[in-house]
Structure 1
Amino acid sequence: MKIKSIYIKNIKALKDFKIDFNNNINILIGENGLGKTTILETIYNIITANESFVEDESSEGCNLELSFTKEELDFINRHRNRLKKTLFNIVDKIEIGKHGINQDMDFKKSFAKSNIAKEKWFRKIVYLPTDVNFKKHKVETAKMVHNSTDIGIILNSDEMSLNLKEYLVNIHYKDLEDMSIGETPYRIQKFKQLYNAFFEEKEFLGVKDFEPLFKIKATGEIHSADELSAGEKQIFFRGGSLLQMDLNDSIILIDEPELSLHPEWQQKILDFYKGIGENNQIIIATHSPHIVSSCKKEEVIVLDREDGRSVVKSNVEETYGWTVEQLLLSVFELKSVRNPEVQEKIDRFKSLYINKEKLNSGELSEFNELKNELEKYLDPEDPSLSLINIKEDSKKLEALLKNLKASNA
């Protein structure tokens, strides 16, 4: 099951809003308040038939279009009587409103107990909100951890940090049982491969005394998962929780995965989530140009503001492999990548330089003060210092002055 498009009639900033998705990676970007998080939440609420959402007047008129594989369609047809009017009953489109899916909420309650949830093709929709407050939890015994059979699940930090630890302890002991009878342990190994491919300075060792342990490669120091940095915890608990679910052919919604991550890790985080499973549709809301630079332009969806409402911007420039500065100026539409105060001083200096021969004493004093300040703080190789260091009699100066006057005309 993949999301083809969503239409939102009137929820917050999203009014008469439609957005199309591709089957693989979708990166939502745009300034705050345009509705990126609302899009993720609405997708989740529709597919999971969230009762509070369905009963809210704002849900009326929302429309979600899905695509299904032949296997999924066969399944729906086989169980059509049982599914009744649930979201899986309409193959091409799902419509939510006061007289729609809210009549069949009993389906969600009985779904986990049925054999339907055990069908090979059935997978979850998983939503990871911006919550990154991972609390410390002590595991005192090994016990079975059962994956939820609900249609969807929201992974918040507190639940992740407890559930993943218990799960890792449980499969650690299963690996030990396999070793005792001469079989090769494999469960913890897939978690090691995921993390050790991401972390360069640390290594995930596994579980000892009911606690996941990491080693700092440079010093050999060993510490628990609770001692990881905020960014490391996000990778460990979020990635591990998704890996635990064995997600393939699933829908994964992630809000601001760059939180607490060093820019180097932001560059790698998309590949990390791609490695969680196979054929997943991933929809991410982000403000990170480092993530966007890892995407082709057809994977990037830019939200803009038009007549007071959010719209999807057309004709997005190429993004893959672009520098952060290029992306900030073009796709993110920043006026400058500099501190606004510094940029204002540079612009003022250029303005004075153009009219250098006509400056009065006060303006000339201001010009020299700006010159000294910019030389003090900016990198000597900064192009903006070319006005200061250029020789007065050079042809390069004439060309530069011509360009400056043209740009300020």
Structure 2
Amino acid sequence: MRKLKIKNFKCFIDKEISLSNLTVLAGGNGAGKSTVIQTFLLFAQSFKSSTSLNLSNKLYLNDYYTELGNSKSLLNYDANNETIEFEFTDDNDKSINFKYKYDEEIDSNIFELLNKEEVIRNLKESNALNFVNYFEFIGADRLGPKTFHHTDKNFTELRVGKIGEYSALIFEKHKMEILPNGKNLRDNVNEVLSNIFDFVNIDTEFNKKANIAMFEIKNHPLSTEYESPVNMPYGVSYILPIIISCLVRQIDKTKIIENYQYKQEENEIIIIENPEAHLHPSAQSKLGYFLAKISNHIQIIIETHSEHIINGIRLATLEDDINNNNISINFFSSNKKSFEPNIQNIKIDQFSDLTDWPIGFFDQQEADIREIFEHRRKNRK
């Protein structure tokens, strides 16, 4: 997918967001980043498949991925009509436009589709909605260290869950499957973990009677036995769902999904909120590098407040692990003249420099240092 257009929804009157293999959403709190993510979440929780036979007449506003409340409250304050639109554009510049209205008298928890016949026609030409088939959202509020994980409701899925609740199950089911590099999933996950944290090894045990999966961990190279998952650092527990979700999708799906027949370009998308949570700056940078490299295979959208994630991505371009043209940074900022935020698209050039560095874009360190020096200067007088 290469573009998303949003009209009359929440803070947006009419905005287009550029998407790439790796898309970064950055900017201040309340500037509109979550609204972009919520658009994807609405479609993911409302559509079970991208085929016209399964086309939903409704967008469900309150379900597993997101809870947005009353439909009328989601219409933009300055909208000149009551139609809310979302347009997805694929790699071949083929678009699908969805037009919705709210109807509180029928159901305040839905948007009703207005142009179903047009959407069905466009679905035959565009693969922009195919992301719903193997979509993954990993939220900012992920699970910390736990003694065990329940494994219900997810045996036929590849998803680790929005809080990482199915990470242990996915890992346990597929850890011996071989990835394109010739190593199994377990070895690949541990290789990434050890690169980010110097040394971490994880494995799982499955209790059939209780139907639970349990992580176990070694976090020192001299460790001879795996330890309880409650000894797992928060940074490791927060990053595990991300790494597992990214790597498990490298496995041949015919081997892990029963009756797998999907033929079209899949356009898989993983959306990750605050991947940097609970990580040391050096680990954040290495995670940014990993996400950049893996986005050659899976489209990834991240929402981040970390300059270290950005720097890890920039380093990956210098080492040719991702083409700089396959990265898109969208900087969201408030607009004093309108309720609608500004969105500035920033590119990374061939030298890993950013094409723009607007005020407020990861410049707080410089601003703080200037203020510190100013206070020192005044105090010396």
TM over 0.5: yes
Cα deviation digits, residues 220-272 of structure 1 (max 9, x gap): 25423332211111111332245445696312222211111111111122333
Residue 283 of structure 1 is matched in structure 2 by 301
Distance 2:145 2:190 in 1: 22
Matching residue within 159, 168, 171 for 1:168: 171
Larger Rg: 1
Give the CA RMSD over aligned residues.
4.4
Distance 2:309 2:333 in 1: 19
Residue 155 of structure 1 is matched in structure 2 by 161
Residue 63 of structure 1 is matched in structure 2 by 85
Residue 15 of structure 1 is matched in structure 2 by 12
C-alpha displacement of 1:136: 1.5
C-alpha displacement of 1:190: 4.1
Q: Superposition pairs for residues 344-383 of structure 1, below 5 Å?
A: 344-348=374-378, 367=381
Quick check: 1:4 aligned with 2:6?
Answer: no
Distance 2:183 2:364 in 1: 51
Quick check: 1:96 aligned with 2:100?
Answer: yes
Q: Superposition pairs for residues 9-408 of structure 1, below 5 Å?
A: 9-11=8-10, 14-49=11-46, 50-52=59-61, 56-57=71-72, 58=74, 61-68=83-90, 92-98=96-102, 102=112, 123-134=133-144, 136-138=146-148, 146-148=155-157, 155-157=161-163, 160-161=164-165, 163-171=166-174, 186-204=184-202, 207=205, 211-220=214-223, 222-244=226-248, 249-274=267-292, 279-293=297-311, 294-295=313-314, 299-306=328-335, 307-309=337-339, 310-313=341-344, 321=352, 331-334=361-364, 336-338=366-368, 342-348=372-378, 367=381
Aligned amino acid, residue 138 of structure 1: F
Aligned amino acid, residue 255 of structure 1: E
Cα deviation digits, residues 132-171 of structure 1 (max 9, x gap): 233524369x99952339xxx79332xx24x222343344
**Secondary structure at the residue paired with 2:25?**
strand
Distance 2:331 2:149 in 1: 43
Query: Structure 1 stretch 218-227 or stretch 302-311: which is displaced more?
Result: 218-227
Residue 388 of structure 1 is matched in structure 2 by none
Aligned amino acid, residue 267 of structure 1: S
Gaps of 5+ in 1: 74-90, 105-119, 179-183, 350-365, 368-409
Distance 1:280 1:315 in 2: 21
**Secondary structure at the residue paired with 1:66?**
strand
C-alpha displacement of 1:6: 2.1
Size of the alignment, in residue pairs?
Answer: 298
Distance 1:327 1:319 in 2: 16
- 1:5–1:65 Cα contact (<8 Å) kept: yes
Aligned amino acid, residue 66 of structure 1: F
Distance 2:365 2:201 in 1: 41
C-alpha displacement of 1:303: 1.4
Aligned amino acid, residue 305 of structure 2: H
Write 1 or 2 for the structure with the bigger share of helix: 1
Aligned amino acid, residue 6 of structure 2: Y
Which has the bigger relative contact order, CA under 8 A and spacing at least 6? Answer: 2
Distance 1:186 1:226 in 2: 25
Identity %: 15
